[in-house]
């Protein structure tokens, strides 16, 4: 295991970016609204899609460069799908790792400009593991490795899969770093989205979403503010609606900016 990342000081404002496949474009919309309003971000903890967006933003915190990259990303950009790949997954993750390496300057998590943590699940031990150091591409791949779709990632003598299995909105991990304010972005707030279930992958993924519900509520209790974009009827496993998903994230964040600023003021934290 890599050593835990030691922050110079406890983060004042931390973001917990939840999982939700291509609903991750909503995270970018939220980041856009926060950046416009000069909301400081001292730590980002991401699960699954949240880890991908978090890694990209923490590596280069320039939202105007991140927006077109994410909106133009489709499943073919990051999935190397093959029915005959292996017995444990149809997506190897190599294409996703190449995407991360191509668009991140940092090779290791500890080198990002904003402190970043990728949340994974240790499949053998059945526990959540926050990766705060080590190779950024492989760590994010592990955080995104949805069982039955992705091959698990073998790292540090462990078998690692999607962090969302046990901790889909990692506000608790943010709190473990003693963050003063935790803002959680829940992109699967409505687990009963009208997602097509016309093939076995979608059936499996929809079943997984439903199973996450109660655990997700417990994690959200650690957040001071929860942003839950309205993503009903927007497909989770397709990148075709990225612009609309981004817009929903932006709109949801704009609604709570006054509440965030009020909380910052109460804590003596300057916005901009």
Catalytic residue among 48, 51, 92, 248: 48
162 carries an active-site annotation: yes
Q: Are 175 and 222 in contact (CB under 8 A)?
A: yes
Question: Using CA atoms, how far apart are residues 192 and 80, in angstroms rounded to an integer?
Answer: 28
Q: Is 103 exposed, middle or buried (0-12, 13-18, 19+ CB in 10 A)?
A: middle
Residue with tokens 């091959």: 151
76 carries an active-site annotation: no
What phi and psi, each to the nearest 5 degrees, are found at residue 98? -65, -40
Tokens of 126: 């059945």
Q: Are 73 and 86 in contact (CB under 8 A)?
A: no
Cα angle for residues 86, 145, 201 (degrees, 5° grid): 65
Question: Using CA atoms, how far apart are residues 186 and 182, in angstroms rounded to an integer?
Answer: 13
Question: Using CA atoms, how far apart are residues 262 and 208, in angstroms rounded to an integer?
Answer: 36
Catalytic residue among 42, 59, 122, 162: 162
Residues designated catalytic: 48, 162
């Amino acid at each position: 295991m890599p050593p835990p990342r030691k922050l110079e000081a406890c983060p004042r404002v931390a973001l917990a970016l939840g999982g939700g496949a291509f609903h991750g474009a909503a995270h970018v919309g939220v980041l856009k609204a926060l950046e416009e309003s000069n909301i400081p971000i001292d730590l980002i903890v991401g699960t699954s899609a949240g880890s991908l967006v978090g890694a990209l933003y923490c590596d280069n915190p320039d939202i105007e460069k991140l927006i077109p990259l994410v909106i133009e990303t489709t499943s073919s950009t990051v999935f190397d799908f093959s029915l005959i790949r292996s017995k444990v997954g149809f997506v190897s993750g190599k294409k996703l790792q190449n995407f991360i390496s191509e668009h991140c300057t940092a090779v290791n998590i500890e080198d990002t400009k904003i402190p970043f943590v990728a949340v994974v699940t240790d499949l053998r031990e059945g526990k959540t593991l926050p990766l705060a150091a080590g190779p950024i591409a492989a760590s994010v791949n592990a955080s995104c490795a949805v069982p039955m779709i992705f091959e698990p990632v073998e790292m540090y003598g462990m078998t690692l899969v999607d962090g969302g299995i046990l901790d889909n909105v990692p506000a608790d991990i943010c709190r473990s770093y003693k963050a003063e304010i935790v803002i959680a972005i829940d992109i699967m707030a409505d687990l009963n989205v009208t997602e097509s279930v016309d093939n076995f992958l979608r059936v499996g993924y929809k079943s997984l979403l439903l199973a996450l519900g109660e655990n997700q509520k417990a994690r959200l209790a650690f957040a001071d503010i929860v942003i839950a974009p309205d993503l009903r009827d927007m497909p989770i496993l397709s990148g075709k609606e990225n612009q609309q998903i981004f817009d929903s994230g932006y709109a949801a964040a704009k609604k709570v900016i006054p509440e965030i600023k009020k909380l910052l003021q109460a804590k003596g934290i300057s916005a901009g």
